[in-house]
Structure 1
Amino acid sequence: MRTILDDLIENNEFPLVFIGSGISKRYLDGFPNWTGLLEEFWNAVGFGLNFYGEFNKNIDSLKAVNPGLSEKELEHYSNIRMGTILEESFNEAFNSGSITLPNFNQKDAYQTKISPFKMAISKRFSQYTIKEKLLEEYNSFKNMLMKTQIILTTNYDCFIENSYNEISRNKVTKYIGQKGFFQETFGSAELYKLHGCVESPTDIVISEKDYERFDKNSVLISAKIISMMMHSPIIFMGYSLTDVNVRKIISDFTRSLNDQELQILENRLIIIERKQGEDQLIQEVISERDLGCKLKVIKTDNYKLIYDKISKINQGIAPTELRKYQQIVKKLIVDRGKKGTLKSVLISPEELDNLEENIQNRNLVVALGDAKYIFQIPDIVSYCLDYISDTDEISNDTRMRFAVSRNGRFPINKILDENLIENSNLHTSEKAKLINKISECTNFDEHYDSINQSSILTKRKTSVEEICKMDSKRNKIYATISYHIKDLELETVKRFLIANLADLKDKGEISISTELRRLLLLYDILVNAKGATTNQP
């Protein structure tokens, strides 16, 4: 069945994604919902009263004062009230010594001004374990995160950012609480933690006072979120349509739109709801008078299919790389361009990391190419994929210029032939540099001996397939395959390298880790080096 997600892929737009506690609960062992968390702490304090008895009393009193509230709203406001009761009682018990927290005492609470209750919540969510049975789906979730322009969440835990940073060379930029809403941001590869984070207990939103303070700034927060939502498709996952937070965000948004804009919104607003046991994607159009719009709801239990669809979006560069472009342009052109006469320099995308330290205080304009290659010089991912796959769309002259312009390890031996170099169109000095690389890039032992021994998963003879099953950390897999490469079938290694390079390219990455570079060169020496030297058995 075709869904709005297929339109998203067709339009090739990175979405803005709201991630709720339902996602953490899906993948993390023993992860509680909001009410379950409050019940945990209620029992820890040792109240004589029954938690749900008190909870029901709160609901009854709220209903008496506000008879128009829905069940979800009553539950929402009762949770906030219970949070207030708990914070007061927990802190009192902590200060009297009847409750203790590891590595945090009464003096620490006084000096840091951190609520012991919030510190306890921080410690509760600081550690987690991924459910082993969902590891394959979780890997798809991580790949999906690479295709999100901005992520917003009300979760306290660090599951989202840890998942993102585990597979991205460029970390997601995180804003906690309301800090990000008062700062200038770039609008790419950003995570907004609206209700706080375990890394900053003071920003955790849990009690009535916290929500009152949060609501005081809701105009600014809503304005920033609306600005983000105007330019991106919006996906809610891990929330239900009845979630009060979701409904407030959507209703704030729709109130600012005219009829024509509302029509556009209906094809850009998606809610993913779990339907237990459902393997297909079932799309429904819901008309919500209270929200002021229609929206698409996709019901499924097959979240891997959702993630895999979103991961197909490919703009040629990942949001993390796009953010890096924006930062460099801002710093070098906007901030430093006021200092004097501007000069220009043309750089390749992967040089951005070192650009500022190389130019120091020079005044310049940076020309950023949007074509596949700049002056036919590819990024290293494109170069290596073309080289290892034997596609050979990149000419030998381009490969040679690429090799001259770069240091470090990368596959090069196809072009390290003195006759080939001499007959090329390179300058004499460039030819000399390439010829000097022959001894360096054909010495198997030198590169083999640099393998980090602590990263080797096993030293017994094994296969590429078995190595890949041993650990989810790619760099350890690369190091282990490098260690065993002379005992492995090289065609299998080649397929592995092509798959990993293609994955990096799909994610928009333009750089490669040291461990993968080493593996690429070791493979290259064994397959392509004419004068290779090795003492390895």
Structure 2
Amino acid sequence: MGVLEEIVESNRLPVLFIGAGFSKRYLYRYPSWMELLELSFAKFEPDVFQLQKHIDGCKRKGMSEFEINAYLGTVIEDGFNQAFFDRKISINVGNKKNPSWVKRRISPYKMFLADFFRRQKLNRSPELSEELDKLKKLKSKIAAVITTNYDSFLENQVFTNDYNVFVRQHELFSPDSYGIAEIYKIHGSVTDAESIVITEQDYKNFKESRKLIIAKMLTLFSESPIIFMGYSFRDENIKEIIEDFLSCLSDEQLSNIRKHFIFISYKKDEQNLVEIERTITTKNNIEIPFVEIQTDNYGLVYDQLARITPGISPLRVRETRRLVKTIVDQKMTSAEAQSIIVGIDDLSKVDLTSKPLAIAIGYKDNILNKYGYGLLEDNQIFEDIIFDNKKFDCEAMCSERYKNIAITRLLPVFKYVKNQHIIEDSKLDNYVKTHDSLDKIVSRKIAETFKNFPEYDSYEQLYRNMINAENCRKTAMSILKNMDNLTIDELREACKYLFEKYPNEFATETNAKRCILCLDIRENYLKK
């Protein structure tokens, strides 16, 4: 029996430890570490001999590959920042002449890296697209993800909207972390340029606080096997993490390590899963066996992991833990509890800020059938329009949720009414008639409020404006101004950005709601 089959048989959700090789596989022209350093250096010094001079000097000192790359990161940051402040180079983030992020003392080089990796695109080859589709279906089979990658591939393409993302190391044990359905970006992220680990000092700071990562791995390992993907055995940084981790395991845990500690490594053109027995030596000089799987067919790996059948998805486990923790915390301060009913698909939507709660958890259909669609909040409906993930009963939505809808409300309805018989002159019928065109949703008077917003030729240009917008309102107004230039898919992406960037505002900000209403009418009414 192969080691992946043993994981499937145990039915334990694995933790993925993801490296740069993983993103290099699925993103177009994704650079290696050295390639990244070379293209960064070329931004301010076109003479490649100058970079080679630094590399040659490091090699003469007997520095390892990891030490050389970290040193080059320091040299490049110094040279890049100096060239930026001397206005010899610029970064297309914020105001080009006087960007606000400079005043926040963010390193220009790290801002450049954040912008560079934010722009990474998917590799559209048919083979990889099919493989990626299999990977996306593993969302309910993966306990958590640890990654050293800066890019947002995992959170934006694979675990979209389901897994919480933690960037700084101190966040690993924050009160908002529940140890499941989470992504830990231990080398920083494009969403926080200051967090990026690239220089010698960055790696020194990382090493000093590495015990937090080891502690998190130990916590996760108690429930899950760990699968490494996208790393080389020559990676000193990861090798040290592994050695520290293994040195903390008990003899009993070490005796079973082979089944719970797996490397998936790339081997060009290998279409099978080739298992190789390897050993690694801990800092206590104990040799530990583990399995390396060599392949160029990651789809087979995903096929195996897809056979895991959890009783409840990691997302629901995390939200249940969150609610239980809140109830326990509230019990300490109040003897009274307010009972509510919450569907298992809507655990994250519960308002925990007002009264102490006693919560019944169940499947959405059972809850809704018993208590009615009148319980649905506006933000759940907006989410369903954007992601098509709620599977609401259209007839029930029309007869219960929308039966008394006021003309002045801003709620999307066309997804639910398009195949239903609506009673003439009912409140819902009148609502549909007064919202059945884009001009009625965004009137001339409303359009006047954002007439000074710029128009863009592409969604990419609009997106760059959105990420620099001051708030939810201005982001939404920029989208509305460029509505005619967006395809339905691009409008959906813009609405997704609003939903994810402003989770506490999008359902109450009128222009954000108009964006979602426009998506609904274009997709479900005008398109028809």
State whether TM-score is above 0.5.
Answer: yes
Partner residue of 1:363?
356
Shift of 1:12: 1.4
Shift of 1:341: 3.5
- CA shift digits 1:169-202 (9 cap, x unpaired): x432111132313523201111111111111111
TM, length-normalised to structure 1? 0.67
CA distance in 2, matches of 1:306, 1:452: 48
1:304 aligns with 2:294: no
CA distance in 2, matches of 1:453, 1:271: 53
Percent identical pairs in the alignment equals 29
1:187 aligns with 2:179: yes
Local SS of the residue matching 2:62: helix
Query: Mapping of 1:92-491 within 5 angstroms?
Result: 92-102=82-92, 103-105=95-97, 108=100, 110-133=102-125, 134-166=128-160, 170-181=161-172, 183-184=174-175, 185-290=177-282, 292-335=287-330, 337-342=332-337, 347-356=342-351, 361-368=354-361, 378=366, 410-411=392-393, 442-443=421-422
Contact 2:13 2:308 in 1 (8 A): yes
Local SS of the residue matching 1:81: helix
Q: How many residues align?
A: 409
Q: 1:58 to 1:441 in 2, by over 3 A?
A: same
Query: Which residue identity lines up with residue 12 of structure 2 in the other structure?
Result: E
Query: Which residue identity lines up with residue 61 of structure 1 in the other structure?
Result: K
1:79 aligns with 2:69: yes
Partner residue of 1:434?
none
CA distance in 1, matches of 2:437, 2:263: 45
CA distance in 2, matches of 1:141, 1:473: 22
Local SS of the residue matching 1:338: coil
Structure 2 residue ranges without an equivalent (≥5): 382-390, 397-416, 440-486, 493-515
Q: 1:350 to 1:40 in 2, by over 3 A?
A: closer
Shift of 1:403: 7.3
Q: 1:320 to 1:105 in 2, by over 3 A?
A: farther
Structure 1 residue ranges without an equivalent (≥5): 64-73, 381-398, 415-437, 455-470, 477-513, 523-536
- CA shift digits 1:248-294 (9 cap, x unpaired): 12111111123221012221001100111111111122122357411
Partner residue of 1:44?
43
CA distance in 1, matches of 2:373, 2:82: 66
CA distance in 2, matches of 1:289, 1:238: 21
CA distance in 1, matches of 2:162, 2:277: 36
TM, length-normalised to structure 2? 0.68
Partner residue of 2:24?
25
CA distance in 2, matches of 1:81, 1:401: 62
Q: 1:475 to 1:114 in 2, by over 3 A?
A: closer
Q: 1:341 to 1:25 in 2, by over 3 A?
A: same
- CA shift digits 1:46-84 (9 cap, x unpaired): 146343443233123135xxxxxxxxxx11111001111
Local SS of the residue matching 1:356: coil
Q: 1:413 to 1:165 in 2, by over 3 A?
A: same
Q: 1:351 to 1:257 in 2, by over 3 A?
A: closer
Contact 1:95 1:106 in 2 (8 A): no
Structure of greater Rg = 1
Q: 1:124 to 1:306 in 2, by over 3 A?
A: same
CA distance in 2, matches of 1:23, 1:451: 46
Shift of 1:204: 0.8
Contact 1:337 1:365 in 2 (8 A): no
Contact 2:230 2:265 in 1 (8 A): yes
CA distance in 2, matches of 1:84, 1:263: 41
RMSD: 4.0
Contact 2:7 2:259 in 1 (8 A): no
Query: Which residue identity lines up with residue 67 of structure 2 in the other structure?
Result: Y
